[in-house]
A = this chain, B = another copy of it.
Amino acid sequence: MTRSSEPSRVALLGFGTVGQAVARILSSGEVPEVRLTHIFNRNVASKRADWVPSSVCWTESAGDILASDADIVVEVVGGLRPAYDWVRGALEAGKSVVTANKQLMAHHGPELLDLARARGLEVRFEASVAGGIPVLRALQEGLAGDRLVEVRGILNGTCAYILSRMQSETIAFADALAEAQARGYAEADPSEDLDGADAAAKLAIIAAVGLRRPVRVGDIATRSIRPIEPVDFLYARELGCTIRQIARASAEDSGAVFAAVRPALVPLTSGFGRVEGNQNLVTVRGVFGGETSFSGSGAGGSPTAVAVVSDVLSVSRGAKGESASAPVETAFHDVSGDFVAPHYVRFTVNDKPGILAQVTTAYARYGINIEGVLQLPKFRKDRLPFVTTLEECSESVLDRALAEVARSDFHVQPPLSLPIFS
């Protein structure tokens, strides 16, 4: 599509929080280059909004959108089906697509980009990662002259909210989760957020775009933030740290690709340690340019809508993105979650003599060096939390050592290990 005097025609698939925010911006008069022409949603009668221009055609049939004269289809319904069929259908009908759908792009991105390129169309998906922060464009275009080798991010607002509340209020995980749910920051079933699947989908997209290493979402190792307790924030603070869910991926010179999503210790004074609420932060490292960071609103209707509308404008202006430029790598890479890092391990034990000796002996057997032991006073002896900090070791080796330690009878609950990121 090339720039002409006629505005591009935009059809909206979905009129929820993000869809409404997109329609607000397109109806504000701020973007005369594009015109909203169609809105699809189930049960249109209850959705119809009086601030939408009367020229807009409302429909309950996605087929109407695919058969329309719209130039660009915006998909903000989310989920894999039927979104996948609609996006394919739009491309097959000669329409470029802008989507906010992380699951769709994480699972089917390479295929959809390939289809778009074959037809001279665009698929843009900035809004699928890190809400309003234009990080994909930065990775893909602004840092195109570099070779990016590592990405670290806080990509899930629900986890950032819960962990920052646990940090500042010293409240239990369950209470912080209930508060997040009451405020609408966490869903009734928060598993995707808490256990890492949401961040893993975003990380898969970033790995494909930024590191040029497509990986299967299901291959990305994840660990939940559920086992984190208030005492972990106490011990973390002793180490100058706090705890956040960190998504991390790297492309090694050897060709190996690492990716994982898990809670980790991060310095209180670092950018990661300062992320709260729905903020997202992404840091990338390139071989020529060093570290570059991007932060802003990672969720919310309006910030996400800014990303959608910016993509719509790019397509309308005829800019060429991923799908139109270099061929997309469609083969998935093998990926390991076995990062090497210093670690924090918290044990909760029914105290008796000899426990530390057993733990340190197990570490020694696996060649793991202890950096320090922390035991704050005033805990109950029959439920005593203490922490070992470890020099750099691979997670898999540490897991084997901890599996051995876990066989002892002094544990009140399983040991918790967290990498420490500097």
Contacts and interface: CB of A to CB of B under 8 A. Distances in A.
B290 A296 contact: yes
B318 A144 contact: no
A143 interface: yes
A296 to B, nearest CB: 3
A188 B313 CA distance: 45
Contact of A319 (B141, B289, B303): B141
Contacts of A309: 144-146
A148 to B, nearest CB: 10
Interface in A307-334: 307-314, 317-320, 324-326
A142 interface: yes
Contacts of A325: 3, 317, 319
Contacts of A294: 138, 292-294
A252 interface: no
Copies held by the complex: 2
A132 interface: yes
A307 B144 CA distance: 8
Interface string A283-303: 000101111111111001011
A310 B142 contact: yes
Contacts of A138: 134, 137-138, 142, 294
A269 interface: yes
B134 A310 contact: no
A37 B382 CA distance: 74
Interface size class of A (residues with CB under 8 A): 35 or more
A320 B3 contact: yes
Nearest to A146: B306
A289 B320 CA distance: 24
A323 to B, nearest CB: 12
A212 to B, nearest CB: 11
Contacts of A21: 288
A126 interface: yes
A305 interface: yes
Contacts of A146: 25, 132, 306, 309-310
Given A3-B320, A142-B126, A145-B312, A293 B296 contact: yes
A30 interface: yes
Interface string A142-160: 1111110000000000000
A21 to B, nearest CB: 8
Contacts of A297: 289-292
Given A274-B269, A291-B297, A292-B297, A143 B134 contact: yes
Given A30-B147, A31-B145, A145-B25, A295 B293 contact: yes
A132 B288 CA distance: 9
A314 B137 contact: no
B306 A289 contact: yes
A79 interface: no
A146 to B, nearest CB: 4
A227 interface: no
A212 B291 CA distance: 28
6 tightest Cβ-Cβ pairs between the two chains A and B: A134-B142, A145-B309, A292-B296, A289-B306, A145-B310, A132-B289
8 contacts: A134-B138, A134-B142, A134-B292, A137-B142, A138-B138, A138-B294, A144-B309, A288-B303
